[in-house]
Amino acid sequence: MSELVLIAASGLAREVLTMVRASGQYDVVGVLDDDKEMAGITVDGA
């Protein structure tokens, strides 16, 4: 399984995260966002 990092933690990114996980093709290892308020926050387990 390939590792994947999502860029942005918006609502759309969370939907993409759900679809990527459902595909079983990738292991989401992190989420990057330029919003400093998001630093250190877990986004749906990633």
1-46 pLDDT, tens digit per residue, is: 899 999 987 888 889 999 999 999 999 998 888 988 888 888 777 6
Give residue 46's pLDDT: 61
Give residue 43's pLDDT: 77
Give residue 10's pLDDT: 81
Quick check: helix, strand or coil at residue 13? helix
- Look up the pTM and report it: 0.71
Strand partners, 4: 28
Give residue 20's pLDDT: 94
Pick from 9, 4, 42: which is nearest to 23 by CA?
4
Give residue 1's pLDDT: 86
